[in-house]
Amino acid sequence: MQVVRGYRTELALNHTQITACTQHAGTARYAYNWGLRRSQEVYQQTGKRPSAMDLHRELNALKETDFPWMYAVSKCAPQEALRNLETGYTNALRRAKEKKAGQWHGPLGFPVPKTRKKGLGSFRLTGSIRVFSDAIQLPRLGRVRLKERGYLPPTGTGGMRVLSATVRERAGRWFVALQVEQEQPVPENTVPVVGVDLGVKALATLSDGTVIANPKPLKRRLKKVKRLHRAVTRKQKGSQNRKKAARKLGKQYRRVANQRANTLHQVTTRLAKTKAVIVIEDLHVAGMLRNHHLAQAIADVGFAEFRRQLTYKAAWYGSRVVVVSRWEPTSKRCSRCGWLNDALTLADRVFQCDSCCLTLDRDLNAALNLERLAASSADT
Ligand SMILES: [Zn+2]
């Protein structure tokens, strides 16, 4: 199967390369903000938004006179930034439409100017990109070393084609995210059906009895984040000490984010690889988050992300994801006889059936119900 997937890994830049990357990111940010301003002007005058192409043409015409410094970086940097702007508008307008129809309740997220205060940012490169076992060859930047050897698939293997490379700074470190198209062999999958109850207490409970626990260090780290946050607000605004404290907070926050992402990836990969059919509940995400009842790691990255990862990984590993309607009383129903325990609350950790006397962990009971529902529910 031909799939498009992403790889992200850290770069080991030398000083010249750090300068070049900072310059590229700066140009991308400048082009984005310029495009945003132009877009707003044109919209006010004509009632129509210019496309990324229109803006790019205009910017190119101005380059020689107004922005000669842009020649120092790859032409991709401003061009792709304008594309991002266009995507930003498209998404915001789609959400505006959905909000009118009552399908969207969050903020619309119209593009806003990018600021250096939030980090150096990123830029995307397209064109000839080659991957070696310990380095990557990028337009303009040349050969850049990778911190991790052998993670990225080298170009030329398995029909791999690099579509784009996005270089991004995060808390003082530089990363590259590759979007590649490659051949993914789908294995024959014969292992059984499993129901997955996403956690109230544990991260996930499977109907085969496996319990995937919440990562413990996460709680500890979150505590530290809170403390560092207070440290920042106590320092005088604009002072060097405040900047230092903010950098420290940024680093700690990054660690938390990495750990969340890692946990989620591990769980979804494990499920997709070892089960033929995975049954999950179609949770109402906003409601669950308000309740604070979903396990931390999933609540943080979001159930939608859990489902997204599970779905694409299932396609890679030859399994299926089945989503059960959110109105199905999976927690309250007895998984053996079907009796409905209407009195069950979230505080009850154990399910007790008054009809057949089944006594079971509530999450396991829910997982068993999900497994049973596999046949009567639709695929994602
Ligand atoms: Zn029962």
Question: Has 197 been annotated as catalytic?
Answer: yes
Q: What angle do CA 262, 263, 264 make, to 5 degrees?
A: 90
């140009």: which residue's tokens? 27
Q: What is the DSSP string of 272-313?
A: HHH-SEEEEE---HHHHHHHT-S-HHHHHH-HHHHHHHHHHH
pLDDT of residue 161: 87
Instruction: Please give the distance, rounded to the nearest whole angstrom, from the Cα atom of residue 318 to the centre of ligand 1.
Output: 34
SS3 115: coil
Instruction: Please give the distance, rounded to the nearest whole angstrom, from the Cα atom of residue 293 to the centre of ligand 1.
Output: 25
Instruction: State the catalytic residue, choosing from 197, 282, 328, 361.
Output: 197
Residue 209 to residue 101: CA distance in whole angstroms: 42
Instruction: State the catalytic residue, choosing from 281, 300, 305, 361.
Output: 281
Residue 345 to residue 335: CA distance in whole angstroms: 17
Residue 143 to residue 174: CA distance in whole angstroms: 15
Q: What is the DSSP string of 186-221?
A: PPP----EEEEEEPSSSSEEETTS-EEPPPTHHHHH
**Residue 219 near residue 296, CB atoms below 8 Å:** yes
Instruction: Please give the distance, rounded to the nearest whole angstrom, from the Cα atom of residue 359 to the centre of ligand 1.
Output: 9
Instruction: Please give the distance, rounded to the nearest whole angstrom, from the Cα atom of residue 365 to the centre of ligand 1.
Output: 10
pLDDT of residue 211: 87
pLDDT of residue 191: 64
Question: Has 281 been annotated as catalytic?
Answer: yes
Q: 10-residue block means of pLDDT along the chain (380 residues)? A: 88 96 96 97 94 95 92 94 96 93 87 92 94 92 93 80 94 92 75 79 83 75 86 91 90 82 88 88 59 55 79 89 81 88 81 88 88 71
Question: Has 54 been annotated as catalytic?
Answer: no
Instruction: State the catalytic residue, choosing from 80, 169, 300, 363.
Output: 363
pTM: 0.73
Instruction: Please give the distance, rounded to the nearest whole angstrom, from the Cα atom of residue 353 to the centre of ligand 1.
Output: 5
